[in-house]
Chain A
Amino acid sequence: MESINYQNFRIDAENICVDYNGKVALYDANLRLKPGQICGLVGMNGAGKTTFFNALTGFVNISKGKIRINGESVRSAQKDQTIAYVPQNEGIDSQFPISVWDVVMMGRYGSMNIFRCPRESDVQAVKNAIERVDLTDHLSTPIGNLSGGQRKRTFLARAIAQRASILLLDEPFSGVDIRTEKLISELFIQFKNEGKTILLSTHDMIHVREFCDLVLLINKTVVAYGETSEVFTPENITTTFGGISPDFLFGPES
């Protein structure tokens, strides 16, 4: 039998199961992504999208299966700053007394010494990241004073500053302005060219067709996975959303 070279895959999740105190949130899920691929994660609320992210970052333990990140364990991926997680706006306490600069600097914490004293290289990485998301005018603005789009860009900058090769984005397009949406899509193209791997969850079917090479449809387990053009069919989407037709969910144009 030919052995698979796992090094080729950035993310390789094999038959993973996650349960919370006996309640199954995700079972027998598989995902393989290579460098430069963008994959959309689509499913209903409670279908296990966030759980999938949590399993990949190691925030929850999997009860079965195996996850390899660049052929290594999740733990060593954490140590190597391989994965960056960009949270949903709702998942963040926007009233926390912290500035844009401080949030982006948190992307560097994992590679600093125990006191988290920024070195010159950290400062430079943070500066560049903030430039790339066009927030240079808001360096010391508290995140509570930012718009939804600006806040989203702040967390993207944190992921950039971290220099992660895998980006997990939870609803990157929800609640953002047109300008931010445009900037995020430009960044996606740059990330792709840099060979980063992106996994993003979204409710918006148009974005899936626009950006994603691959799509993973889940409802507690994988409903369908593959090239967007092949897998992202009305039938599959209907199955994913529990029998409700996509027309009803997203309007006839999608």
Chain B
Amino acid sequence: MELCPFLTLDSFITEPLTHDFMRKALLMSSLVAAVCGFLSSYLTLKGWALMGDAVSHSVMPGVVVAYALGLPFSLGAFIFGVGSVALIGFIKQKSRVKEDTVIGLVFTGFFALGIVLVSKIKSNIDLHSILFGSPLGISLSDVKQTIFISLLVVILLSIFRKDLMLYCFDPRHAKTVGINVFFLHYLLLTCLSLAAVVGLQSVGIILVVAMLITPGATAYLLTDKFDNMTVISVLSAIISSLIGIYVSFWFDLETGGSIVLAQTFIFLFAFLFAPRYGIFKLKKLFAGYK
């Protein structure tokens, strides 16, 4: 690796692929990115960015407890993810404290509980890898679990794709025509908790919320069609993951941070140059030359 990485583009891309851990990291992170990107378009439209932040942080103690008890960590994450939302709802209803304050209060509490538990429970959990992700060191059992959860979320979202869109857009109409809004609400929350769990492997618990909101926000600037938005969101998430991992390989950077930075740059690009909603409106620029 002392060689100049830019010798050829070909070697820039193929060299990392000769390493087993890199192939695994690229595959897993793309899968995770696809799942989070899919969900991201719903969260963006529903206005659940803060909720995504809350749930992704709140799963921390669940993951730790599950590890300690030898249970699948998705189970622990699910219980604490949904539990945090229930608690937020309860406190909001029973006190005069405003909702955003309650959200901030609950998820930091859960997060702190997780950190304290990690330090107390003697186990092989690596706090650093939970906080910042470790896509390069995913174990085989983690791979299986990630694939299983990812498929589950993708299948659920695909089946209820249109209902969830309606739920985000006009829940009152959904209810009026006999669609189970309660179910859809918890379905979205469940998928959010599960996506947070798989996401924390590649970018860590602190940055996983970026995986859940940035791709959706990028796509929102680029299209006026819901289906396109989902596709763009998934693609931008996958591309960011690939860019992030390659860049972190060649320049020896933190992988999770690189992936999220790549997403942020893609968002900034859309923010500046999106055809209709960008600051400079590329379409108009080109039209000027014709």
Contacts and interface: CB of A to CB of B under 8 A. Distances in A.
B224 A78 contact: no
- Most chain A CB within 10 A, of B163, B169, B173, is at B173
B220 A81 contact: no
B172 A57 contact: yes
A179 interface: no
A145 B228 CA distance: 17
Interface in B110-167: 159, 162-163, 165-166
A5 B7 CA distance: 87
Contact of B179 (A87, A91, A109): A109
A59 B45 contact: no
Interface in A68-123: 75, 78-81, 83-85, 87, 91-93, 96-99, 102, 106-107, 109-111, 114-116
A106 B176 contact: no
Contacts, number: 77
A158 interface: yes
Interface string B229-248: 10000000000000000000
A97 B172 contact: no
Interface string A151-181: 0000000100010000000000000000000
Given A21-B93, A87-B172, A115-B162, A97 B179 contact: no
A75 B225 CA distance: 32
A30 interface: no
A59 B176 contact: yes
Given A21-B93, A99-B225, A158 B172 contact: no
A35 interface: no
Interface residues of B, number: 26
| Interface of chain B: mostly helix, strand, loop or mixed | helix
Contact of B163 (A91, A107, A109): A109
B100 interface: no
B23 interface: no
Given A54-B172, A116-B163, A158-B173, A97 B225 contact: yes
Nearest to B171: A59
A160 to B, nearest CB: 14
B170 A110 contact: no
A148 interface: no
Contacts of A99: 224-225
A75 B93 CA distance: 26
B266 to A, nearest CB: 18
A106 B178 contact: no
Contact of A93 (B159, B162, B169, B173): B169
B175 A81 contact: no
B159 A97 contact: no
A142 interface: yes
A92 B175 CA distance: 15
A97 B274 CA distance: 15
A226 interface: no
A142 B224 contact: yes
A91 B173 CA distance: 12
B178 A97 contact: no
Nearest to B166: A106
B229 A97 contact: yes
A78 B175 contact: yes
Nearest to A78: B178
A109 B172 contact: no
A114 B160 CA distance: 8
- Most chain B CB within 10 A, of A87, A116, A142, A162, is at A116
Interface string A208-234: 000000000000000000000000000
A23 B171 CA distance: 23
A162 B176 CA distance: 11
Contacts of B93: 21
Nearest to A93: B169
A96 B176 CA distance: 20
Given A57-B176, A78-B178, A96-B45, A106 B170 contact: yes
A100 to B, nearest CB: 11
A188 to B, nearest CB: 20
Closest A-B pairs by Cβ, 9 of them: A110-B177, A78-B178, A142-B224, A116-B162, A57-B176, A79-B178, A85-B176, A97-B224, A59-B175
19 contacts: A57-B176, A59-B176, A78-B177, A78-B178, A80-B178, A81-B177, A87-B172, A97-B220, A97-B226, A99-B224, A106-B166, A106-B170, A109-B162, A109-B166, A109-B177, A109-B179, A115-B159, A145-B224, A158-B173
Interface of B: 45, 93, 159, 162-163, 165-166, 168-179, 220, 223-226, 228-229
